[in-house]
Every structure is written in structure tokens, then in C-alpha cells.
Amino acid sequence: MQAARLHEYTEEMSEGLSIDEVDRPEPTRSDHVVVEVEGAGWCQTDNHIIEGMWTPYVDQDLPMTLGHENAGTIVEVGDEVTTVEEGEQVICHPVMTCGKCRACRTGDDMYCENLEFPGLNTDGGFAEYLLTSERSVIPLDTVDPVEIAPHADAGITAYHAAKKAVDELYPGSYSVAIGIGGLGHIGVQALDAMSAAEIVAVDIKDEALDLAEECGADYTVNSTDEDVVEAVESITEGDGATQILDFVGADETTSLGPDIVAPGGDHHIVGYGGDIHQPAQDLVDAEMAYRGTLVGKYSELEELVALVEQGTMDLHTSEYSLDEINEVAEKLEHREIEGRAVIKP
Ligand SMILES: [Zn+2]
Ligand SMILES: [Zn+2]
């Protein structure tokens, strides 16, 4: 089968991956599931993996097939798989979990002690077939795997952050969503679906802000022409934002937290790449927290699939073939992808 593989870390996206002919994966464990990949979302994390940014955090054995936002049709199952069968369409939670450790038993899939992460530390879905496990797949009723694929990571991550934010939001409070791209436009819809708080969307592009309005934002701020701190101060009448969802995670956005947060609020870091350099006293004075977001739980992906099947969430995607994969990487690097790019291997 064909697979888009990383052989060497590079800053040069135009030649990041090469299309190799490799063996089709086979189930080697009784709980394994082989999925014929119909859609695999391209993610900023793929750019970061190509650049080598993940090497301090995970062991990667190159060459490796990338692709962690996968959906398709089950073509083979291990001997003890009982909950899904061949021919079923599924979306894949991005990690394979053991089901036996404490984290698995409390539902915190991302903290599994024996975690495997296809596309990050094992072969992923930019290939005709993907090896995953029974615990990772969620059957799809009505939605097309190509359209829903990016929810496997982009969607679940935005939803997980929004769900944590919604716990702290209340009618009359404000949330600020920074960066209305692939994740941000899902995050705004999730906030809108689950909370009565007002949503302020911030981006550098008017088109992104138009999309934010379609997704349910009540206010928009173009940070190219407007001062974000003044704009949030004026919109919230001086109260600040109870929850900030930062889908960018650059120095310029992480530094906004202390200046726009309401007392006791949180600045959720969803996008990454920059640093946080705030005086400790800023956090003490506002009693604010920076909170990280690492994908989400299996149960949250199920909830998100339910929202999609109800027609509550709308994902903006564009489709590409496996041969166009480096072009997609370059386009995302130059912020030329609206919504989310999906590779169809
Ligand atoms: Zn991703
Ligand atoms: Zn586990």
C-alpha cells in the first residue's frame, strides 16, 4: 500500500514526506482493528512533527507514517473484537489505550500508561490502511468519514477545551476564542452549543472572523487593526473574560491572558509553538491559571460525533489526494488553508 512517511526531520515542508510502498498492516493482537482510511486530517501538529518539535516528548522511530485524524471502514478485526465488525464505518480516537491502567479506568484516555499514538509514535493514517484497536474506534451512523475525520484530533481537542471552559462559564459571562482556524471554528461552535456565555472571537483575518460569526461568535475583534485588550475591556464592560481559549499559542497570544482575564479565570492553551513569559504576580493578582489541552477523552469524541450527527457542528474542509500532501503542509505553514485539509489516501 502507499503511505506518506517521514524519513528525516526538516524545516522544508515542500519535501517533508515521501510516498513509499509499504506492507499493509495486519492485526497482531486480538483487539487490533485494521481500517481502510477514507479521510485523514492534516494538522499543524504534522508540521511540528516534521520539524522535529515532538522529539523531546515522544520516541519516534523513523521512517514513520504520519496522520492522526483518521476515519474510514473496518476491513479486518482481531480474534477477540466483538463491538465492531468488518464493513463498519468508524472515526478513530487518536490513541490506542490499554484499558487496564488507572487512567483508562477513570476515562482519561490521554494519560494511559501504555499509550500508542498512531501518526506520532507508530504508523498513522496518511496511508491506505491504519492499524488501531477496538477501544479506539467509534462507529458512524450517518456522517461521511471524509467529512468527520479532522474531528478525531482537531475536533476533540477543541471540544475538550470548550467543555472545560463551559464548566466555568455562566450566562452573562464572556469567553474569548483566539485564532479561528481549523480548531478555533470548532471551538466556537462547541462553546455556542454548550454555553449561554457571550463569545468574543479574535483573529488577524476578516474572513476568519466572518467564519466565527457563522459559528456563533457574538463579537469579533480583528487584532490587526484593533487593540485586543481595549476591545475586550469595552465588550465586557471592564469585567474581562472568564475563559480564554487560545487556539494559537504564540507569545503574542499567551501574553494576553493576564490583561483580558476576569478574576479567577483561565487561559486555555490549545495551539502551541510559543512560550509563556508572565510575571508570577500576574497569576497571583488575577488568581488566573494557564491550562493545557491534550486531545480529549474517548467519551468526548462520542459526544462530538453526536453533535455532528445532530447537525449542530459544521466542519469546513477541503480535500486533497495523498500525492498533494507536501503541498498541504506548505499551505498550512503559510496559513493558506481555510478550515481543515483532509487527505484521501
Ligand atoms: Zn492533530
Ligand atoms: Zn491504559
Asked whether residue 100 falls in the same domain as residue 133, the answer is yes
Distance in Å, CA 183 to ligand 1 centroid: 9
Q: Which ligand is nearest to the CA of 111?
A: 2
Predicted pLDDT of residue 23: 97
Distance in Å, CA 304 to ligand 2 centroid: 22
Q: Cβ atoms within 10 A of the Cβ of 67, count?
A: 31
Distance in Å, CA 117 to ligand 2 centroid: 12
Predicted pLDDT of residue 86: 98
User: 292, 315, 332 — which closes off a domain?
Assistant: 292
Asked whether residue 281 falls in the same domain as residue 220, the answer is yes
Q: Tell me, what DSSP letter sits at residue 39?
A: E
Distance in Å, CA 146 to ligand 1 centroid: 15
Specify the 3-state DSSP secondary structure of 326.
Answer: helix
pLDDT of 188-231, one tens digit each?
A: 999 999 999 999 999 999 999 999 999 999 999 999 999 999 99
Predicted pLDDT of residue 198: 98
Predicted pLDDT of residue 238: 97
Distance in Å, CA 57 to ligand 2 centroid: 18
Distance in Å, CA 114 to ligand 2 centroid: 5
The answer to whether the peptide bond before residue 279 is cis (omega within 30 degrees of 0) is: no
Beta strand pairing call for 2-6 and 17-21: antiparallel
Give the C-alpha separation, 197 to 219, whole Å.
Answer: 12
Give the C-alpha separation, 19 to 47, whole Å.
Answer: 16
Asked whether residue 247 falls in the same domain as residue 284, the answer is yes
Q: Which ligand is nearest to the CA of 109?
A: 2
pLDDT value at 339 more than 80: no
Distance in Å, CA 151 to ligand 1 centroid: 9
Asked whether residue 242 falls in the same domain as residue 204, the answer is yes
Distance in Å, CA 75 to ligand 2 centroid: 25
CA-based nearest residue to 117, from 43, 181, 175, 220: 43
* AA letter at 223: S
Predicted pLDDT of residue 338: 75
237: which residues sit within 8 A by CB, 6+ positions away? Answer: none
Write out the residue range of the structural domain in which residue 228 sits: 158-292
Confidence of residue 316 (pLDDT cuts 50, 70, 90): confident
Give the C-alpha separation, 53 to 120, whole Å.
Answer: 11
User: Number of structural domains, the chain?
Assistant: 2
Strand partners, 344: 321
Asked whether residue 182 falls in the same domain as residue 85, the answer is no
Specify the 3-state DSSP secondary structure of 107.
Answer: coil
Specify the 3-state DSSP secondary structure of 3.
Answer: strand
Specify the 3-state DSSP secondary structure of 122.
Answer: strand
Asked whether residue 228 falls in the same domain as residue 323, the answer is no
Q: Which ligand is nearest to the CA of 54?
A: 1
Q: Which ligand is nearest to the CA of 114?
A: 2
* Residue-wise DSSP of 69-101: SEEEEEEEE-TT--S--TT-EEEE-SSB--S-S
Give the C-alpha separation, 242 to 265, whole Å.
Answer: 5
CATH of the domain at 15: 3.90.180.10
Distance in Å, CA 280 to ligand 2 centroid: 35
Contact in structure between 78 and 26 (CB atoms under 8 Å): no
CA 116 to chain centre: 17
Distance in Å, CA 69 to ligand 1 centroid: 6
Distance in Å, CA 44 to ligand 1 centroid: 6
User: 266, 292, 318 — which closes off a domain?
Assistant: 292
CATH of the domain at 217: 3.40.50.720
pLDDT of 130-165, one tens digit each?
A: 999 999 999 999 999 999 999 999 999 999 999 999
Predicted pLDDT of residue 337: 84
Work out the mean pLDDT of the chain and round it to a whole number.
Answer: 96
Asked whether residue 121 falls in the same domain as residue 173, the answer is no
In the structure grid, which three cell numbers stand for residue 324, read together?
498533494
User: 276, 292, 308 — which closes off a domain?
Assistant: 292
Distance in Å, CA 31 to ligand 2 centroid: 14
Confidence of residue 179 (pLDDT cuts 50, 70, 90): very high
Distance in Å, CA 6 to ligand 1 centroid: 16
Residues 289-296 have a mean pLDDT of 97
